[in-house]
């Protein structure tokens, strides 16, 4: 049952990725930048960390293979989560911290806008909180963790981070910027800003990753930080 | 050989050819000896339509025009006449690799008289995989777009990881075939150059979602 649930999650995640592939990129409205001094970072959407193996042997054997793969993935996901807890690493906290720093460096004042999210899409209506802001920065992290393109030395595990970002005017709800950022691109990159993975932070297989928790978390830190910096750059 | 295998053997080369990347083109790293002008020639600018379905894709090669402003380096360039619009619109420029050669782009936006209103330097282009991309909101007063090569970055190299998926038919039993999926990676070393492939498009600013 657990494996079946895992397979369903994998299929759903794939559908989400395909569905978002065609979302248009909207460059920052720099004409409006003079009016945007204070940005409210809406509580980002974050899934659980995951370990993805593309082109697995199991994918060659239909549903039975998919179920077997899902069982392996579920176990690896748990290992990665435990590893992050041991290293006291929270990707959502680190992402917000680095993004906050990047936006301040770009000249903005930053406030947090707490939101309880429903689902994994942009927020439909932003709260009119006690602290007024000029624009809301809405962030939906689609996936993060590790990914390998296959089995063997020629396809190592590397960190990945995928996040959608949208800046919405508080005054008239117009979309001032929208984009998607992908750390470690392996597949199609339409409408997506990509960041190449650091080749120094990779593992020949998952066992090697699990045996080096400090380096594994360092890889996640780098992926998270560079994704946050790229979003800040899109708003410069 | 079972008929299924014969069929796959016949189709596979065509499939591989269809999936093959763009043709190899040697990078042009110097514009020495090429006649250059101090100001871009706007008379021959290609008209760009305000229509996402009508992008202009072109290859800058050894015959591309050369720009050498006073005190500046030499650049290969191409000029576009921008569409008339009362509203700002989305202008996108993508430099995609030709083999391992990638045009290293920078942009200039000019008014009707050819005065430079805005420049987009090379480092404002974002990576889209191996390609370089810039999206900007063009203003009605911006009437010409110059896509020029960025001389300081020409000759530099960038290494990219390319993910590959493989499908291998394996015969099982008599006439049966199992399809085995596998994946691997390869490194592609790109050279930034004065030549390459550029795609330019103009469209209304898309609505979110």
pLDDT along chain B (209 residues), means of 10: 44 43 84 94 96 93 94 92 95 96 98 96 95 96 98 94 80 77 85 98 80
For the residues of B88-134, what is the DSSP string, one character each? Answer: -EEEEEEEE-BTTEEE-EEEEEE-TTS-EEEEE-GGG-EEETTEEEE
pLDDT tens by residue, A41-60: 999 999 999 999 887 776 76
Q: Which of residues 120-139 of B touch A (CB under 8 A)?
A: 126-129, 131, 133, 135-137, 139
CB B209 to CB A122 under 8 A? Answer: yes
Residue A179, token pair as written in the block: 């984009």
Where does the pLDDT of residue A132 fall: very low under 50, low under 70, confident under 90, or very high at 90 and above?
very high
Size of interface A-B (CB pairs under 8 A): 92
Rounded Cα gap, residues A216 and A160, in angstroms: 12
Rounded Cα gap, residues A197 and A195, in angstroms: 6
State mean pLDDT over A58-81. Answer: 81
Name the residue ranges covered by the structural domains of chain B. 3-19+158-189, 46-153+190-203
First-to-last alpha carbon distance for chain B, in angstroms, is 52
Fold classification of B46-153+190-203 is: Jelly Rolls (2.60.120)
Q: Could you tell me which residues come within 8 angstroms of residue B171 by beta carbon, excluding any fewer than 6 positions away?
A: B2, B5, B177, B178
CB A195 to CB B88 under 8 A? Answer: no
Nearest to A60 among B133, B136, B180 (CB): B180
Strand (E) or helix (H) holding A212: none
CB B181 to CB A56 under 8 A? Answer: yes
Q: What percent of chain A has pLDDT over 70?
A: 88
For the residues of A40-80, what is the DSSP string, one character each? Answer: EEE--B----EEEETT-GGGGSHHHHHHHHHHHHHHHHHHH
Residue A123, token pair as written in the block: 């927020």
CB A150 to CB B184 under 8 A? Answer: yes
Interface residue B207 vs chain A (CB under 8 A)? yes
> By the 8 A CB rule, do B204 and B89 touch?
yes
From the CA of A48, how many Å to the nearest CA of chain B? 24
> What ipTM describes this predicted complex?
0.83
pLDDT score of A12 more than 60: no
CB A190 to CB B208 under 8 A? Answer: no
Three-state DSSP state, B12: helix
Q: What are φ and ψ of residue A16, in 5° steps?
A: -60, -45
List the one residue out of B98, B100, B99, B158 whose CA is nearest residue B125. Answer: B158
Neighbours of A195 (CB within 10 A): 20
CB B181 to CB A166 under 8 A? Answer: no
State mean pLDDT over A164-173. Answer: 93
Nearest to A29 among B128, B137, B185 (CB): B137
Provide the whole-model pTM.
0.85
CB A26 to CB B208 under 8 A? Answer: yes
Nearest to B183 among A150, A189, A192 (CB): A150
Predicted pLDDT at A214: 96
Rounded Cα gap, residues B209 and B192, in angstroms: 35
Q: What are φ and ψ of residue B46, in 5° steps?
A: -80, 135
Interface test with B, best of A21, A22, A26, A227 (most B CBs within 10 A): A26
Predicted pLDDT at B21: 55
List the one residue out of A29, A38, A94, A78 whose CA is nearest residue A234. Answer: A29
Nearest to B129 among A149, A154, A185 (CB): A185
From the CA of B94, how many Å to the nearest CA of chain A? 11
CB A196 to CB B127 under 8 A? Answer: yes
Residue A1, token pair as written in the block: 């049952």
Residue A139, token pair as written in the block: 């962030």
Give A203: exposed, middle or buried? Use CB within 10 Å, 0-12, 13-18, 19+.
buried
Interface test with B, best of A154, A158, A183, A223 (most B CBs within 10 A): A154
Residue A53, token pair as written in the block: 């193996």
More confident residue, A5 or A112: A112
Residues of B in contact with A199 (CB under 8 A): 161
For the residues of B36-83, what is the DSSP string, one character each? Answer: -BSS---TTPEE--B-TT--EEEEE-TTSEEE--TTS--EEEEEEEPP
List the one residue out of A166, A168, A147 whose CA is nearest residue A157. Answer: A147
CB B161 to CB A197 under 8 A? Answer: yes
Three-state DSSP state, A126: coil
pLDDT tens by residue, A139-157: 999 999 999 998 877 789 9
State mean pLDDT over A184-203. Answer: 90
Interface test with B, best of A164, A173, A189, A191 (most B CBs within 10 A): A189
Predicted pLDDT at A188: 76
Neighbours of B82 (CB within 10 A): 24
CB A149 to CB B165 under 8 A? Answer: yes
Interface residue B102 vs chain A (CB under 8 A)? no
Interface residue B177 vs chain A (CB under 8 A)? no
Q: What are φ and ψ of residue B3, in 5° steps?
A: -60, -35
Residue A234, token pair as written in the block: 């899109």
């Amino acid at each position: 049952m657990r494996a079946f649930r895992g397979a369903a999650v994998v299929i759903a995640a794939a559908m989400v990725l395909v569905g978002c592939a065609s979302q248009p990129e909207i460059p920052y409205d720099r004409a409006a930048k003079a009016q945007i001094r204070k940005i409210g970072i809406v509580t980002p959407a974050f899934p659980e960390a995951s370990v993805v193996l593309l082109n697995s042997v199991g994918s060659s054997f239909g549903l039975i293979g998919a179920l077997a793969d899902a069982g392996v993935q579920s176990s690896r996901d748990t290992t990665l989560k435990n590893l992050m807890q041991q290293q006291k690493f929270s990707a959502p906290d680190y992402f917000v911290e680095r993004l906050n720093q990047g936006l301040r460096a770009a000249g903005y004042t930053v406030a947090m806008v707490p939101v309880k999210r429903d689902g994994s899409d942009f927020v439909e209506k932003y709260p009119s909180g006690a602290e007024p802001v000029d624009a809301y920065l809405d962030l939906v992290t689609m996936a993060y963790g590790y990914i390998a393109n296959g089995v063997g030395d020629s396809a190592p595990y590397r960190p990945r981070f995928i996040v959608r970002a949208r800046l919405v005017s508080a005054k008239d709800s117009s979309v001032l910027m929208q984009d998607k950022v992908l750390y470690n691109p392996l597949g199609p990159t339409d409408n997506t800003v990509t960041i190449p993975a650091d080749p120094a932070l990779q593992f020949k297989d998952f066992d090697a990753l699990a045996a080096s928790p400090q380096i594994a978390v360092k890889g996640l830190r780098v992926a998270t930080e560079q994704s946050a910096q790229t979003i800040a750059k899109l708003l410069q | 050989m079972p008929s299924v295998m014969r069929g796959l053997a016949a189709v596979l080369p065509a499939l591989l050819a269809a999936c093959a990347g763009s043709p190899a083109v040697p990078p042009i790293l110097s514009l020495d000896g090429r006649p250059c002008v101090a100001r871009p020639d706007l008379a021959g600018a290609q008209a760009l339509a305000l229509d996402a379905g009508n992008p202009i894709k072109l290859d800058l090669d050894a015959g591309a025009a050369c720009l050498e402003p006073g005190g500046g380096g030499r650049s290969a360039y191409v000029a576009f006449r921008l569409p008339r619009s009362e509203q700002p619109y989305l202008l996108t420029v993508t430099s995609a690799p030709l083999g391992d050669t990638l045009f290293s782009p920078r942009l200039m936006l000019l008014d009707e008289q050819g005065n430079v209103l805005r420049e987009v330097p090379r480092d404002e282009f974002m990576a889209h995989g191996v390609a370089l991309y810039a999206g900007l909101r063009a203003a009605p007063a911006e009437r010409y777009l110059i896509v020029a090569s960025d001389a300081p970055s020409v000759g530099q190299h960038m290494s990219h990881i390319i993910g590959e998926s493989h499908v291998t038919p394996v015969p099982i039993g008599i006439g049966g075939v199992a399809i085995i999926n596998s994946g691997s990676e390869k490194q592609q070393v790109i050279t930034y150059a004065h030549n390459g492939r550029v795609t330019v498009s103009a469209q209304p600013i898309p609505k979110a979602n």
